[in-house]
Structures are given as C-alpha cells and as structure tokens.
Structure 1
C-alpha cells in the first residue's frame, strides 16, 4: 500500500501557508494556501498539491514574479482591463474576480479582462467566490498550444490550439452549480493522472503518431496531442474563446503565447452577473425549482459529486500520497514536515 499522510483542512492550510510565506507577503500566502487546500478538499487533486512543485518551479525560472502586482489599465462602470504583469496567476484571477463582482453589484453585469498572467490553478474556486456573492460567473482562459485542431494533418504535428478552459458558476446556496471544463476531451491534469497510473483513458482523448484517435494517456501527454471535445465543435469553441480572450483584454493569443518559454502572458476573461439585481429574492425559489426538475428526471448536474466529496473530506480529512507531499516540501527551500 502506498504511504500516505492525512490532513484536516486547517492542518493542510497552515502547512502550505508556512511554506508559501517564505516567498509571498502574508495575505498573498494565505490566499494561495487557500486555493491549494480548497482544490484538495473538493477532490480536484489534479489542480491541487500535484501542481505545487510546478508552481514553485515557474517562480524559480522567472515565469512567475512573486513580487509583481496586477495593474488596472482602464476602468468604467461595467468593465475593466487589467495587466497581470506576470504576478502569480491565482492572485491575478482573484483580483479580477473581486473587481467583476463589485462592479456587477452596481451595474448588474460586469466584464473584466486580464492579460499578461499565467496559470490560474483551479478556476472553479473563483466561481465559488462569485456564487457566495450571489453572482453568476463565466470565465475562461487561453493557454499554450496543447491541442490538435480537428482539421490538422492525419499525421501528428505541432499542436496549434489551446484547450482554453471555461467555467460557468451559478449560485445555489451552499451548493453552487459549477461547470468547469477544458476544450480538450480530458484536461492535461487528468491525462497526466492516467499516465502516471499506467492506465488508458476511458475513451479516446487524443491522437496517436499516425493521427488516429487513441486512449493512450502517456502518449497523448508526451506529445501534447489531446483531441477537442466534440471534435470540430470543440476546435471551433477553442478558437472563439481564444479570439475573445485576446480582443477583450488586449492580450496575447494562443499562437502569440507559444512564442514564449512556458505558459506566460496568457489572457483571461471574467464576466459576473448579479442575480439579485435581476431577480431579487425570487431567484432562490426559482433555482430550487429548476434543480428539483433535474433531480426528478435523474439528471446529474455539474458540481453535484463535488459537493458530496467536499462534505466527506471536511469530516474525514484528505489523504495525500506521501511522494506528492514530499515533492511539495522539496520544492521549497525550507522544508517543514507534517
């Protein structure tokens, strides 16, 4: 049996906060520790501690600047454009979401464009923040080229599209409805997980060397040959999200991002809608009725399993493979042990 370590929420948060405090100001360290801890307790392990060493490595490479701060470039009643200035992606995203929510509270709807940022870690977290403020959140990001366009040559070449994740969050009391998906059939975090477990993907999620669909996770991960959801439809959605991200932020496209080393200078969009502004108190009875309709038809709605996982982990804690926790400790200069 693989050696593991068990953390309760406060234990994991405090351990990560201690490690991050060596590199960030107090408030920023706490915010980042919260994002990593939330991902683990929500069961999104592909975007939790497994990404921590990579996050620290990108700081050491100079791709993320821990001392940089986001800067507002333009501001109006219902929109804002922000230059992330390569500050940590999660902090840039939270800064953007906070402004989108605050503007939506006054205007009903607000759009915030963020350019020159980096990986935002687990985007569903930002939808949770918006839902707590009774706001719908629609947000997306472009990425490095990591997905093959459906119309590309049948022999594997260089990926040209980003899998450009999008998140839609809808308030629903303490159980928000959150759809968090990449434009690829599987996120690269999930592909990596299957590859490390020496398991095939449950369905084809990319292309083999000869251009045929495959469920060989290791091969897809190695050559960045993920396939789009819905084939040509996912390719089209990826392109549209990339174009919108570039024009709404004044930032870079997937192709332009590819000119840099690593995932730097990506573009993100955050749209917040104040439900109370539209519906007032009627909203919660309406969403409860709509959820009841889904449950009556035995339809699994986005976020349902996440809520069950979170409830379980809040009671029992999370079990972290020891090698993952050791990798977290080894990625920081001052190691601390649980």
Structure 2
C-alpha cells in the first residue's frame, strides 16, 4: 500500500480553487493562490504546496489572517512602491507586487516594490519566473518566523528568509535560484513532522543545541544557517529589507504559520530589472545560453549530470505535469476533510 496518491495537476488545482471559493474567496484570487500552490508541488517543493492550505484556512478561522482583502498601493513613485497586503495571502500580494515592479521597470529601467502586513507567499521562484516571462531579471526576498539564531547566540530570532533570483535565457532553461538562508527550508522540516519522517542530521538542532533527527524537536530548536556566520548575516539583512524597511515589524516579530495568536507580520521585497536598458534582450539571452552551455560542457566532479539553478525543479515540473503529483495520504485526507466541512465533493 503506497503512502501517496497520484493526482493530475489540473484536478488538484481545480480542487484547491473550489475549496478557497467555498471558504469565501473571489474566483480570480482563488485561482492565483491555487496556481501558486500547485506550482510548488509540480516543482517538487511539497513543503510549500497544497500541504499549506489547511494552515492558511486555520489562520483565517482564527481571525488572524484575512481571506480576500483589498491590497492598496500606499506609497508610489516612478521606480518604487509599497503595497499593504491587508494581512491577506502572501501569494496575492506577491503577484500584485511583482507585476507592478515589472510595469515600473519597463518605464524606469528598474523598480523595487515592497509589501507590508502580509503572510507566507509560497515559493519565491514563482514570482521570479513571472518576471522571466516578461524578459526581466528579478530578485525576490521575504522574511519568516524565527528559526535560526543570530551568529553565536542561543535564541532563534531570524527566519530562514528565502532569496530568489530569476534570469531569462533563450534556448536553455532560465536560471532560477531560490534558496533559504538555512541549510534546508523550515517547510521541509514541517512536512516531515506532518508525515512522520525523520530529518537528516545537520539540518537543525534541538532546544539544547544538540543535533537531532526529530522534526518536532527541530521545530522547537534552531535550523542550521548556510555557511555559518554568512547565512546568519544574510538572513538578518533580508529581514531588515523586508520587515523593517516596509514597516511591517522588527526582526523576530514574524509569527509562524501555525501560530494563531495574531497576524504573521510578514514582509516581502521585489526587484525587477529591464534587460533592454543594458542590451537587446535576444543578445542577453544568447549570452546566458552561452554561459549555460559552457558550464554544461564541463566535466562532472562525480560523473553525474551538471545542473544549473532551477533546472532540476523545471524537469520535475514537466514530469509531474504529464504524470501527476504525488500527494501524501495525510495531506490528501486533510484536503478532503476541508472539502467536507465546506460542503464540497471529495477529490
């Protein structure tokens, strides 16, 4: 007996959208949120996919997150803007922000759009790829709840604070680097806790600072930063640019997605760069292709394949679009229970 069910992406996307609409969200925003969650699952990032939906709706039921608020631009200039997410879905705020950054970059060459008073926005790669589709280079930042200690301290204060870069290519797959500032994203540890799996040593320590395989102990302890002091420092900088700069909150104030004691106080920052202000887009893409081709032609260190950032995820996306998404039984059961409570048919 398998521990998962294979579900076609379109069917899962439609199911999630129906759940959101039954919960009271308008059709277009529900479609956006569903699309971002399925995007994560297609690319093999199940920790940020449909597994998150129940936690989002738990927060809405607890009145610490808004289902479908207005998200106005509260500060505007030719090359920058600030959006207030109204404590709504980070995915919706992120789409509004990256699209606005792209629009402004077309006029000004580059643009920065911040988002305040938001929530978890899924995978940063989704927004980077949206900019790539517009032939833009992009940078995407977000903060998250305390999960790591500042270097040489003992209390978690900074989040895993992801950063993503998107670079268009021509014949080759675009470059999409989406990484947390910890050795592993906290969502992967949360997913392990939900599915009863152990985590590898080196991912995290427990409350006493001891290495652990137990995801529950890891969630109470601290995640390991990439590169030690470098990862911890990068996480702090990202929090200053997303939380402090946007006016959302001070470092350490972001609440975990499962914490229903109050708004999450998450902030984001999106940068879009118009390549054509530097050179024709076709020339740039050809140069990126040349770099990719050169790297691909290099001898492998271990005899295996050479992959560029985002390439493995892109291959996963193509495969899962054809064959379906493996949804863990526990996650599928939770989704179907949500559907029942909302008078919907199961998947």
Pair in the same fold by TM > 0.5: yes
Q: Write the distance in 1 (CA, Å) between the matches of 2:97 and 2:81.
A: 9
SS in 2 for 1:256: coil
Alignment TM-score, normalising by the size of structure 2: 0.89
The aligned runs of 1:303-318 (5 Å cut-off) are: 303-318=310-325
Q: Write the distance in 2 (CA, Å) between the matches of 1:324 and 1:182.
A: 23
Q: Write the distance in 2 (CA, Å) between the matches of 1:262 and 1:205.
A: 28
SS in 1 for 2:222: coil
Deviations 1:16-67 (A, max 9, x none): 2222111211111111111122222222111111111111111111222113
Match of 2:190 in 1: 192
Deviation at 1:10, TM superposition (A): 2.0
Match of 2:279 in 1: 279
Deviation at 1:188, TM superposition (A): 1.2
Deviations 1:69-116 (A, max 9, x none): 111111111100111111211101111111011111121110001111
Deviation at 1:260, TM superposition (A): 8.7
SS in 2 for 1:292: helix
SS in 1 for 2:66: coil
Match of 1:217 in 2: 215
Q: Write the distance in 2 (CA, Å) between the matches of 1:305 and 1:292.
A: 16
Match of 2:264 in 1: 264
Contact 2:142 2:162 (C-alpha < 8 Å) held by counterparts: yes
The aligned runs of 1:178-257 (5 Å cut-off) are: 178-196=176-194, 199-221=197-219, 223-257=220-254
Deviation at 1:273, TM superposition (A): 0.8
Alignment TM-score, normalising by the size of structure 1: 0.91
Deviation at 1:215, TM superposition (A): 4.6
Contact 1:5 1:319 (C-alpha < 8 Å) held by counterparts: yes
Unaligned 5+ segments in structure 1 are none
Deviations 1:123-167 (A, max 9, x none): 2111111111111111111122121223114xxxx4222221111
Q: Does 1:335 align with 2:336?
A: no
Deviations 1:225-260 (A, max 9, x none): 112111111111111111122343232123333599
Q: Write the distance in 2 (CA, Å) between the matches of 1:247 and 1:54.
A: 25
Q: Which of 149, 156, 160 in structure 2 is aligned with 1:159?
A: 156
**Alignment CA distance shift 1:248-1:321 (3 Å):** same
Q: Write the distance in 2 (CA, Å) between the matches of 1:57 and 1:289.
A: 48
SS in 2 for 1:257: coil
Q: Write the distance in 2 (CA, Å) between the matches of 1:58 and 1:197.
A: 21
Contact 2:207 2:221 (C-alpha < 8 Å) held by counterparts: no
**Alignment CA distance shift 1:291-1:161 (3 Å):** same
Q: Write the distance in 2 (CA, Å) between the matches of 1:63 and 1:182.
A: 25
SS in 1 for 2:225: coil
- Range moving further from structure 2, 125-134 or 189-198: 189-198
Contact 2:69 2:86 (C-alpha < 8 Å) held by counterparts: yes
Q: Write the distance in 1 (CA, Å) between the matches of 2:228 and 2:262.
A: 26
Q: Write the distance in 2 (CA, Å) between the matches of 1:33 and 1:204.
A: 33
Match of 2:73 in 1: 72
Contact 1:142 1:253 (C-alpha < 8 Å) held by counterparts: no
List, as ranges, runs of 4+ consecutive aligned residues in structure 1 with deviation greater than 6 Å: none
Length, aligned pairs only: 333
**Alignment CA distance shift 1:208-1:30 (3 Å):** closer
